[in-house]
Amino acid sequence: MYLGLTASGYDLGSPNRTAAMVEIIRAMNWNQPALKYFSYACINDGRINPYWPRASILTLVSILVDLEPSNFNKAMVRTHLAGLDNISPEDLDNDVINWAGALTEQIVLLRETQGYADAWACYQQIVQDEVWRKGNQYTTEILSAQGRLFDLLSLRSSQIRITTLLNPLQADPLTDVVSVHNCHYIVTSHLRTNSFIHELIHISINPYLRIWKDRLSKSKHLLELVYDRMEHLSYAWDHSYASWLNVFTETLVRVLTILVSENEILESQETQIEDLVQQGFLYARPIAETITMEKGIQPLSFEWLEDCLQSCTSIAQ
């Protein structure tokens, strides 16, 4: 799928890993309708990532195609996209659903292109090299970080099924998560422990978010202080509860990722929290403080949530 995106103009991947492969892809004589299809993934309206959310949507659909090739249809696409709560409804209209549902035909066109086998072989080699160089270290670091996460939140060992899928053509800072049939696929350009842990935290706190809904909905006004920056970063798209939930969740997850990262030096963590604030995640500091400084209060409990939102309110006033 990213072969098609790259051929149509996607150039956000790391040249250190993909220069040779991109050269092969750009030299191929691609089907022009296919190029037009993949160019639709780019939205030039000033958003910080012009390929959000359509490249992510195609990633989801491509995994659906791989998992259920004989059953794949547009109704399946509609059902899975309806379950996404971090994307503006305007970005999930019928045109987008119909476009994403036509991916299977484009995959056929890609694979029929002369030179496709060379590009695919190069892609596979990059993935194999990454696994050979970092695979064991990645596994060790993940297990260590998971232990710190479960200790911090008093969680039991996770039964969540997570698979890492390497996609060297995508931008390094970006990670996609696709959930299908109770399995979560983390799609990343290279093996990054913090990226995996960040997404594991997202998945782990989903049950909390469901039971917090009533309380969080009453704090929706807190979105106003951070709205402009969060809209620019595509974490907010309007002033709805869904936008506020997405902003609060992303801020909480980024804080937790820092707190369970390998570098446990307090000064370093405080610096990273301050970096989040400078990026526009203004509630990162009160979230971090209520997790680490309030003794006797279990993080992510209702009591913690109440204290956390009160601290956020003091920032907003």
What predicted TM-score, i.e. pTM, was given to this entire model? 0.90
User: Cα separations (Å) of 24 from 31, 120, 282, 309?
Assistant: 15, 10, 44, 52
> What does the pLDDT read at residue 182?
84
Alpha-carbon dihedral angle through residues 257, 197, 19, 100, given to the nearest 10 degrees: -110
Q: How many CB atoms are closer than 10 A to CB 49? A: 16
Q: What is the mean pLDDT of residues 72-86?
A: 91
Going by C-alpha positions, the residue among 156, 167, 212, 165 that lies closest to residue 184 is: 165
Question: pLDDT tens, 293-304?
Answer: 766 788 889 999
Does residue 156 have a pLDDT over 80?
no
What is the average pLDDT score of the chain? Answer: 91
Q: Quick check: 202 and 225 in contact, CB under 8 A?
A: no
> What does the pLDDT read at residue 70?
87
Does residue 264 have a pLDDT over 60?
no
> What does the pLDDT read at residue 151?
82
